[in-house]
Amino acid sequence: MGDILVGTCSWTDRELVGSGWYPVDRRDAEGRLRHYAERFPVVEVDASYYALPGERNSRLWAERTPDGFVFDVKAFSLLTGHPTRSAVMPDGLPADSRDPAVLDAVWARFAAGIAPLRRAGRLGGVLFQFPPWFRPGARAEAFLADTARRTEGWPVSVEFRHPDWWREGRAEATRALLARYAMAAVAVDMVQSLPSSLPPVVHVTSPRLSVVRFHGRSTAWGTGSKEDRFRHAYDEGELAEWVPRLERAAGQVEQLHVLFNNCCGDAAVRAAETMARLLGLSSPADRPGPFVPFRQDPLPGGPPGVPPRPRRPQRQEHEHSDR
């Protein structure tokens, strides 16, 4: 059985900070992260989608978290074909993903930004969430091949938002495509009544990692404000539906990351706490010894990654960065 790590998508979301979940004396940048990491073993960095991650922030995050804590970093918008504001582009470069020189420069900046996490053994994965218009076809497959080439050695997960990727008759080809590049398919929980709804199925495509993201079940998904899209408080029954699926997936991978993206107030952290309890997982503070993540591939010229560890049972920022 692989390790199941449960956490949330961002620890710096304004609504979470304002919800009262953080103690009064731990509301500065360092205090928030330390408080979060005492309760969960994984977090998703969403700020890296809106602006390229910085090496200084990555170093601080590694320094402020315990051994074994990992960060899943969301890929910068330009690298997944999303519209990107010129104001966040480095060195005055145009936000033009069709320009090979621009792409090379942005990829280099992104890789440098997450390098401290890789060196510290804290990079849980890099999430490539593709836009709804990224549909199956030759162009998309070429894009994925280029992404695989540029991310060789990284733990990578892929979330498709166009439903055709997982339609009946297409799903097996999608699984094979991601498996070819050892990319983890991201499963999602979302409302099932929309034309864009994706099925709640976990497709294991990498022996190293699998990821499930809980977006909430708002019918405003894809429309309205961020608060409308993500406003959902999971009840225990909704979460319990997923326990058998998660346990089956964990039996096929080294790590399964379960991340809650219903970031309205403290809804995500409360759902994560409930899911961890349903799965019989201990909190980081309750573990008898240091938790060691799966091996990190070493960087050229950098220290070696974390070596493989023996198995042991473990059960019984949306739009701003955290400096």
Q: Are 158 and 184 in contact (CB under 8 A)?
A: yes
Residue with tokens 């983890």: 184
Distance of alpha carbon 109 from alpha carbon 150, whole angstroms: 12
What are the pLDDT tens digits along the chain (323 aa)? 789 999 999 999 888 998 999 999 998 999 999 999 999 999 999 999 999 999 999 999 999 999 999 999 999 999 999 999 999 999 999 999 999 999 999 999 999 999 999 999 999 999 999 999 999 999 999 999 999 999 999 999 999 999 999 999 999 999 999 999 999 999 999 888 788 889 999 999 999 999 999 988 877 666 766 666 677 789 999 999 999 999 999 999 999 999 999 888 899 999 999 999 999 997 775 654 444 455 555 554 433 333 333 333 333 344 344 43
Q: What's the chain's length in residues?
A: 323
For the whole model, what pTM was predicted?
0.88
Among the listed residues 210, 212, 134, 133, the one whose alpha carbon sits nearest the alpha carbon of residue 178: 210
Distance of alpha carbon 61 from alpha carbon 44, whole angstroms: 12
Distance of alpha carbon 104 from alpha carbon 171, whole angstroms: 31
The three state secondary structure string of 32-96 is: HHHHHHCCCCEEEECHHHHCCCCHHHHHHHHHCCCCCCEEEEECCHHHHCCCCCHHHCHHHCCCC
Among the listed residues 262, 290, 289, 288, the one whose alpha carbon sits nearest the alpha carbon of residue 274: 262
Distance of alpha carbon 239 from alpha carbon 258, whole angstroms: 11
Residue type at position 80: T
Q: Are 260 and 271 in contact (CB under 8 A)?
A: yes
Q: Are 111 and 162 in contact (CB under 8 A)?
A: no
Using only C-alpha atoms, the chain has a radius of gyration, in whole angstroms, of 18
